Amino acid sequence: MARSQSAGDEEAGAIDLTPMLDVVFIMLIFFIVTASFVKEPGIEVNRPDATMVDKVKTPILIAISDENVVWVNKNEVDVRGVKRQVEALLAETPKGKVVIQADKEANIKTMAEVAQAAREAGVGEITVSAGSN
């Protein structure tokens, strides 16, 4: 008789982890769904400081490295191929804006050529991104 009572006490003292695991999975799903995914241009650019930063929705990111290498949509592109790449991206997002992230050591001529190519591709608004203070 004493044996049956101790087995019942062990069962009553056991902790059921199922509700806790349900809560953890629900929280995980919540954080995955609400996480904001940031578009990256493909390389890390050392941008100059700016006092005012303008945020743009659904931009086409173009990065120019300190060695004047142009990156569009995480792909290295020749300056002459920027127009073709931007036209292809504009087909996906017709109201897309272009954000140029140029390294502070990048040549201004390269940045001007990239901006001109974007204009020729049909982009209405071109923004040059700078670092914030």
CATH number of the domain that 102 lies in?
A: 3.30.420.270
CA 21 and chain centroid, separation: 31
Instruction: Establish if 54 belongs to a structural domain.
Output: yes
Domain total in the chain: 2
Confidence class of residue 56 from pLDDT cuts 50, 70 and 90? very low
Mean pLDDT of the chain: 80
Is the predicted pLDDT of residue 51 greater than 70, yes or no? no
What residue numbers bound the domain in which 29 lies? 2-34
Q: What is the pLDDT of residues 4-26, one digit of tens each?
A: 555 566 666 778 888 889 999 99
Q: Do 124 and 60 share a structural domain?
A: yes
Full-model pTM:
0.57
Q: Do 111 and 56 share a structural domain?
A: yes
Q: b vs e for 112-127, b when ≥16 Cβ sit within 10 Å of the residue's Cβ?
A: ebbbebbeebebeebb
45, 102 contact by CB (below 8 A): yes
Packing angle of the helix pair 108-121, 82-92 (nearest 10 deg):
40
